[in-house]
A and B are shown apart, each in its own frame.
Chain A
């Protein structure tokens, strides 16, 4: 379970406050959608959850399964079960994708006190997950994300998510840059991960993705705060009326 309490965060470099008291609780087994106009703080929220150093938390707390994660670095958060699917996955020349997967999977297993996976078992898992996402296995020999199309990068993120089996998934604008076929494949990948002990947070600007990943709750982020929460119908209302009405209410 994820509990965000009165979270305030600012850009470390210039002190600009982006999150101004976010309150949000997402239970285990729940899929929550966070929507909001550009500049409302959606991506910042995802980075602060993952522990990016460019942001400073000035007030409030983030609890995961009852424990504060604020003092953990990104690697410790990941080992604790948090996964962020990036809006813009980094291209990292010189690091082969397969090698990266091996190091990441075994680092997390080691941190959790599990035995490291041997190469054949690892290959089997990667191959299985890649096939389910309709990914070309030869891509995994290339450097991480280098030369991948936008859609390939998003699929690679979901592939990592499947392999790392996180307890808390945060998907930042996973639908951006995807055509409808790719969107369906990615959504199927996410839906396959739905389970009673997993918490999923889907951040999106458009309702489109939520046709395929149907959320249990929808929350609207505006100017760094959650200004409205509701059920999945709220997303459709936003699609129809835009954010303007809500913005008026909140202001």
Chain B
């Protein structure tokens, strides 16, 4: 190896590689898993992506990930109250699977056990050279939960996957498989207390005819860096609603990688990004319409205050055989500060000839007319602004058409506005 061709590593890159040297022998996995980990580390040795890498254009990870903390294996994290009352909670506490509440009829296993026996090995490894999130996670992931919902099962209780960090580094995997015609509501909570580096990679396999509501709620504290990813396969005639809320973190990258595989599936993405302080938050979606007559709509609403920066990259690729695809994407931002900003980059790659695809993006301020109307009814300016900002995002939440979920999410909104409004 010619050492001179190597670029100079940042302190964060060095710290990541050093952490692997120290942790490798304690990480669970069979030979195949170990090989996958080594391969992932090889990718990391090439350095973190900077803004010249197109997929990372809005998030220069090499510059923004300025600090990689050491693992803190003694730190203690406690499970949280679930978002939805009555949920079965599956907590990962500071990177280790805790005691799980398992609803009847479904099977749950720890990711550590599935890495040890090698049965989850195929999920490890970056999908491509730009897949830094999975590379970091594949190198270090030690635990999480694998959930299997059998065909035909309609879960009454929601399942809540919790990834609660207590500082240091936490790398977690979740894998959910919903069998044919299964119905379920699944919440993925990303939260904690420390200035941690968190990576969390999830897999969701939505079987033919299944109906799934999957909510990702990211509320890291303001010193944490969060690298999230979900990899989704949507089967024939299946319906998936994916809701993503980002309301915290210092550096956040949330990747959504979806394949609408089966014919006639319906996919909805609803996203709410509440950005304050000096948060940098990037939601990047790649959606492949592979099956014919697949429908998708993507609506992202952002509220930006203070010096926060955000980005949404939405790429929709329609394969040649995916005729009759119908896709609509919208990204709307309410900018409440001159110092904040939000970038939106829609991208359509269409190889079929009979499709309907559209996208739109807006950046607006609070409408003076609306504010005047509310104030003319005696509502003070601060309250009136709060109502209008909440209305802007609540519209997306109300589309979920599920009362307990809407109420729980609106309570989250209220809590955020009380703190940052």
Query: Could you list which residues of chain A lie within 8 angstroms of chain B, going by C-beta atoms?
Result: 50-54, 73-75, 77-79, 83-84, 86, 89-90, 92-95, 100, 103-104, 107-108, 111, 143, 160, 164
Contacts and interface: CB of A to CB of B under 8 A. Distances in A.
A53 B368 contact: yes
B391 A111 contact: no
Given A75-B384, A92-B388, A93-B391, A107 B372 contact: no
22 contacts: A50-B372, A73-B381, A74-B372, A75-B376, A75-B381, A78-B376, A78-B377, A78-B378, A83-B376, A90-B369, A90-B373, A92-B370, A92-B374, A92-B391, A93-B391, A94-B390, A94-B391, A95-B387, A103-B387, A107-B378, A108-B378, A111-B378
B383 interface: yes
A97 B293 CA distance: 38
Interface string B382-421: 0110011011111100100000000000000000000000
A103 B383 contact: yes
Contacts of A95: 374, 387-388, 391
Given A75-B376, A103-B379, 17 more contacts: A50-B376, A51-B375, A51-B376, A52-B372, A53-B368, A74-B372, A75-B380, A78-B378, A90-B369, A90-B370, A92-B391, A93-B395, A95-B388, A100-B377, A107-B377, A107-B380, A108-B377
Contacts of B391: 92-95, 143
A75 B394 contact: no
Contacts of B387: 95, 100, 103
**Residue with the greatest number of chain B CB neighbours at <10 A, chosen from A50, A79, A89, A107:** A107
A75 B375 CA distance: 4
B317 to A, nearest CB: 32
Interface in B349-384: 368-370, 372-381, 383-384
Contact of A94 (B369, B380, B392): B392
Contacts of B388: 92, 94-95
Contacts of A108: 377-378
Contacts of B390: 94
A107 B376 contact: no
B379 A107 contact: yes
Contacts of B373: 86, 89-90, 92
A111 B379 CA distance: 10
Contacts of B384: 75
Contacts of B374: 92, 95, 100, 104
What are the 9 closest A-B residue pairs judged by CB atoms, nearest first? A94-B391, A78-B378, A74-B375, A108-B378, A104-B377, A90-B373, A75-B375, A94-B395, A95-B391
Contacts of A73: 375, 381
B383 A107 contact: yes
A81 to B, nearest CB: 10
Contacts of B378: 75, 78-79, 104, 107-108, 111, 164
A92 B388 CA distance: 8
B372 to A, nearest CB: 6
A83 B376 CA distance: 7
A111 to B, nearest CB: 7
Nearest to B389: A94
Given A73-B381, A75-B381, A75-B384, A94 B376 contact: no
Contacts of A94: 388, 390-395, 398
A78 B375 contact: yes
Contacts of B383: 103, 107
A104 B378 CA distance: 6
Contacts of B379: 75, 103-104, 107
Nearest to A166: B378
Contacts of B394: 94
A95 B394 CA distance: 9
Contacts of A54: 368
A51 B378 CA distance: 12
Nearest to A104: B377
A204 to B, nearest CB: 20
Given A94-B392, A103-B387, A74 B368 contact: no
Contacts of B395: 93-94
B70 to A, nearest CB: 45
Contacts of A86: 373, 376
A108 B383 CA distance: 12
A75 B380 CA distance: 5
B21 to A, nearest CB: 52
Contacts of A90: 369-370, 373
B388 to A, nearest CB: 7
